[in-house]
Structure 1
Amino acid sequence: MAGEGQDNLWPLPKFYFDVKLGSNHKTVSFQEVSGLDTESQLIEYRHNDNKMFSTGKMPGISKSGNVTLKKGIFVNDNSFWTWYDAIKMNIIKRETVTIQLLDENASPTMTWTLANAWPTKISSTDMKSEANEVAVESLELAHEGLTIKNGG
């Protein structure tokens, strides 16, 4: 069989994960998480007496994209809309969001933490009379920093 006689190092599957919202660490089941990325803006610089006719490159300000979470819609579950509706003229309820990739024993192998996250967009499901699928809503979160660590 495939894999026999080899070492036991395999890439992690991405389908078993856990998302905790807020300071009370409420676990919410999601179908999909995307947008866990960060990048450094590029600064090009050249000294006026440099013999090379090209610029040097160095890292600038870091920025992170918004994170999108998708989940099924349940009866009487308006928690995201309530969170979004709490945003009023410079009053934003910011939360810590923790996303963990789990192993077969439900132990975290990687943890992504979003600092000061808040909902910037909510998209409800589309509706089709001949559709045969679950109603899914998506929540887009802006945040002020993404940290990653191995394990729990």
Structure 2
Amino acid sequence: MATQRDNPYGGFNFLVDFATGDASTVRGGFQEVSGMNIEVTSADYRAGNSPVNHPIKVNGVYKIGDVTFKRGLIGALDLFQWVAAIRSGDQSALRTVHVSLQDEAHNGPVMTWTLLNARPLRYTAPSLNAKAGSEVAIEELVLSVEDMSVE
């Protein structure tokens, strides 16, 4: 699915699908998605009969970073309901989340990140401040993800 071109894509046209099959069913667009990363650990190893006096690097396990989603508060309870299901112990509430980058003309996804077995770690309600009259109220959801693929 990844669509290659000579000039880089902008990071401002994207869709988020929280396992509903349709990115438009999650009400409200997301302002920001951050933290999608994979980190591979390594260990130093040197055999006693190695001809060189330094260790080699051996690949270890990998882990996926926590992913943060931010959107303007619109009064929809969909994200908080997911948090409520997880905090009540519902193991079936794990989801596969898709984040799809689009080109400038919105001709469909040019690259998609798939986050497997995602579960909410933290929900943050917006900061409310009577002095900041022009600020948008932003809610934040942080997900713990077991694996990630890119296509």
Partner residue of 1:129? 130
Q: Which moved more, 1:112-121 or 1:20-29?
A: 20-29
Unaligned runs of 5+ in 1: 1-7
Which residue does 1:101 correspond to in 2?
101
SS at match of 1:81: helix
The DSSP-based 3-state class of the residue aligned with 1:114 is: strand
Which residue in the other structure is 1:25 paired with? 22
Question: 1:89, 1:105 → 2: CA distance?
Answer: 42
TM-score in terms of structure 2 length: 0.87
TM-score, normalization by structure 1: 0.86
More contact order relative to length (CA 8 Å, sep ≥ 6): 2
- Corresponding pairs, count: 141
CA shift for structure 1 position 24: 3.7
What pairs with 1:18-97 in structure 2 (closer than 5 Å)? 18-27=15-24, 28=26, 29-75=29-75, 77-88=76-87, 90-92=89-91, 93-97=93-97
Query: What's the % identity of the aligned pairs?
Result: 33
Considering fraction of residues, name the structure with more helix: 2
Letter in 2 for 1:73: L
Task: Say which SS state the counterpart of residue 83 (structure 2) adopts.
Answer: helix
RMSD (Å), alpha carbons: 1.6
Counterparts of 2:49 and 2:88 in 1: how far apart (Å)? 51
**Distance change >3 Å, CA 79–CA 109, structure 1 → 2:** same
Q: List runs of 5+ in structure 2 lacking aligned partners.
A: none
Q: Cα deviation per residue 1:6-63 (whole Å; 9 max; x = unaligned)?
A: xx82111110001011144343310000011001111211100112221100211011
The question of whether the paired residues in 2 share the 8 Å contact of 1:66 and 1:141 is answered with yes
What CA distance in whole angstroms lies between the structure 1 residues aligned with 2:136 and 2:87?
32
